[in-house]
Structure 1
Amino acid sequence: MQTSPDKSALRRTAARARAEISDKQSVSEQIIDRLIASPPYQQAQTVLWYLDVRHEVRTTWYVQQQLTGALPPALGRRTRKRLAIPYCVDDDLQVFRLDSMDQLQPGAYGILEPKPELRNDPKTQLPVDQFDLIITPGVAFDPQGGRIGHGKGYYDRLLARKGQQTLAIALAFHCQVLDQVPMSAHDVPMDYLVTEDSWMMC
């Protein structure tokens, strides 16, 4: 897949800015709090979360606490959901319904993924088109819903399978939001963009 120089340059710029954030956990907590206080999240019943890697907005702590019921009242109010995570098989993302962090193990690059013996259990499988929300990572975004990922197209292929009612919600640090990012025909725009200081309908 040919990548435009402009998109590559924007990806590098946003990735550098994101990597330089020193207090990612505290800023991530602000982003998560803004997300879960929103009407779309409050009304959702089935949510596909990503588990953060490297410099992404931190989500694993929230998913873990949601599963164990250990959230403080301010973060736990009205947020009990069916949770799932994506994991990579060949060149595509599959979905796994998550009930416990004990179902996971480190995979490639240290990314948490379902234990192989659990992946074919019908109880752990949910169709992508039945989710209310897909919480989406990325490297750069714009207020119009544009998104730049890591260039492999994993999330674009996943989002192409979502239902009409499913909302794609991006989590980002403010420094990742640019005026405009280039979009290709296969790119799937975000419905909402959440940062530490804003909630944007795209």
Structure 2
Amino acid sequence: MKKSEIRKVYLEKKESLTETEVQSLSKKIFENFISEFDLKEDQKVHCFLSIPEKGEVDTSPFLKEFFENKIRVFVPKIIKGKLIALEITKETPLIENSWGIKEPEGNEDCGVKDFDFIITPLLYSDQFGNRVGYGKGFYDRFFSEINPNAIKVGVSFFPPNEKVEDVSEFDVQLDYLVTPTEVLSFGSFESKSTK
């Protein structure tokens, strides 16, 4: 399927989830992430701030875990059409922007490029790690500017059923996909099912 078709199908699927389903599936995704990845103090994790009301995977348990384990947390912010990273702590106040996304104040990129993990939002990923986002290309550009060894982890409610047919040279693949039932690896690591 082409990205435009996949986007339409998975937007509808996402919007059909109830708030209870979003929370329940998000909890399973978080548990799978924690059981798969070895997190250590002072690692740098870039993690999006979700809007659960819009059917996104709830990343608040991730943030709580990172803060409790003294992992440095960075969040995205779009400034002048570019995704930048801002470091936050448990105490950082978050303000809702015009899209309903909570974000920290400040428009200055932190300059960090050597992230250990990047928790990546998406609508869909296929079985090869080809991600379908919302079509703006923010993350592909971001990925191209940071340390290539950063582990890119997509989180999704849905398993990879359809192959993305129109992958471009600018698309950056995920290293892992975490769903409520499995952790899929697109590198040299083994995938695990938690069904």
Relative to the length of structure 1, the TM-score reads 0.81
Equivalent residue number for residue 193 of structure 1 = 177
Residue 21 of structure 1 aligns to a residue in which SS?
coil
CA RMSD for the aligned pairs?
2.1
Extract unaligned runs of 5+ from structure 2: 187-195
Partner of residue 72, structure 1? none
Q: 1:151 aligns with which of 135, 143, 147?
A: 135
Question: 2:49 is matched by which residue type in structure 1?
Answer: L
The sequence identity of aligned pairs, in percent, is 27
Q: What number of residue pairs does the alignment pair up?
A: 181
Aligned to 1:179: 162
Structure 1 runs of 4+ aligned residues shifted over 6 Å read none
- Bigger proportion of residues as helix: 1
Equivalent in the alignment of 1:125: 110
Give SS of 1:108's match.
Answer: coil
- TM-score where L is the length of structure 2: 0.84
**Superposed CA offset, 1:98-156 (max 9, x none):** 1135332111211111113xx44xxx8242x2101111011111111101111111111
SS at match of 1:18: helix
Seen in structure 2, the aligned counterparts of structure 1 residues 39 and 94 have a Cα distance that, compared at 3 Å, is same
What is the alpha-carbon distance in structure 2 between the residues aligned to residue 197 and residue 44 of structure 1?
A: 29
Query: Which residue matches 1:25?
Result: 23
CA drift of 1:162 comes to 2.1
Residue aligned with 1:109, SS: coil
> Does the CA contact (< 8 Å) of 1:35 and 1:41 recur in 2?
no
Structure 1 distance, partners of 2:100, 2:140, is 22
Alignment partner for residue 103 of structure 2, among 94, 113, 133?
113
Secondary structure at the aligned position of 2:184 is classed as strand
- Unmatched runs of 5 consecutive residues or more in structure 1: 70-78
